[in-house]
């Protein structure tokens, strides 16, 4: 790896750090402002800020396992972050879409693992609803994880499409 590639990768890791800091800052704000106060309605009937403590994983699944669940989910998060870092360093500098998705995943995972280790739960505060439909409350780290995973899925489809076009062209050349 050249020095220039290394510096680019460090810049990407700076983005992961930025995601982590934004996540932790917004959660600290939610704890101070929303935990003992009233909910804030940003777009009435659609977008609210409402404090919630999530001891489980996505959508509060596995939230009834106490300390074993807390530490088990923390270990899973740390292993996931380690794998993301491993793939990050193995990904070529030219693959911006994958590098971007990996740093979003890393920043989000780090934010939620930090909450789980430090507090015993993950702070959620973004509340979306539409009529009687109500989406589970989430946070900035969750958004980063979903966007990162979505970019990886998008990359898989785009890569497959590009491979099909290349194989179609080489088949037509014969």
The catalytic position among 39, 142, 155, 168 is 142
pTM listed for this prediction:
0.85
Q: What's residue 171's pLDDT?
A: 62
The catalytic position among 115, 124, 127, 173 is 124
Cα gap 148→170, rounded to integer Å: 33
In angstroms, how far apart are the furthest CA atoms of the chain?
71
Confidence bin at 154 (pLDDT 50/70/90): very high
Q: What's residue 59's pLDDT?
A: 47
Mean pLDDT for 49-58 is: 84
Q: What's residue 56's pLDDT?
A: 72
24 versus 160: which is more confidently predicted? Answer: 24
Per-residue pLDDT tens over the stretch 84-102: 999 999 999 888 999 999 9
Asked about 142 being catalytic, the answer comes back as yes
Q: What's residue 143's pLDDT?
A: 97
pLDDT at 53 over 70: yes
Cα distances from 32 to residues 17, 35, 150, 163, in angstroms, run 23, 6, 31, 51
Mean pLDDT for 3-20 is: 96
Asked about 124 being catalytic, the answer comes back as yes
Provide the mean pLDDT of the chain.
89
Mean pLDDT for 38-58 is: 89
Mean pLDDT for 8-13 is: 95
């Amino acid at each position: 790896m050249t020095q220039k590639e290394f510096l680019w990768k460090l810049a990407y890791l700076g983005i992961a750090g930025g995601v982590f800091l934004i996540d932790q800052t917004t959660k600290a704000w939610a704890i101070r402002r929303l935990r003992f106060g009233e909910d804030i309605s940003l777009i009435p009937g659609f977008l609210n800020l409402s404090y919630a403590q999530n001891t489980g994983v996505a959508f509060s699944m596995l939230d009834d396992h106490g300390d074993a669940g807390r530490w088990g989910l923390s270990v899973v998060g740390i292993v996931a972050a380690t794998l993301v870092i491993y793939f990050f360093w193995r990904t070529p500098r030219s693959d911006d879409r994958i590098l971007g998705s990996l740093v979003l995943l890393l920043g989000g995972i780090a934010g939620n693992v930090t909450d789980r280790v430090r507090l015993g739960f993950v702070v959620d505060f973004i509340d979306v609803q539409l009529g009687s439909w109500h989406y589970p409350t989430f946070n900035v780290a969750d958004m980063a994880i979903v966007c990162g995973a979505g970019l990886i899925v998008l990359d898989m489809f785009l890569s497959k499409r590009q491979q099909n076009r290349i194989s179609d062209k080489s088949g037509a050349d014969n």
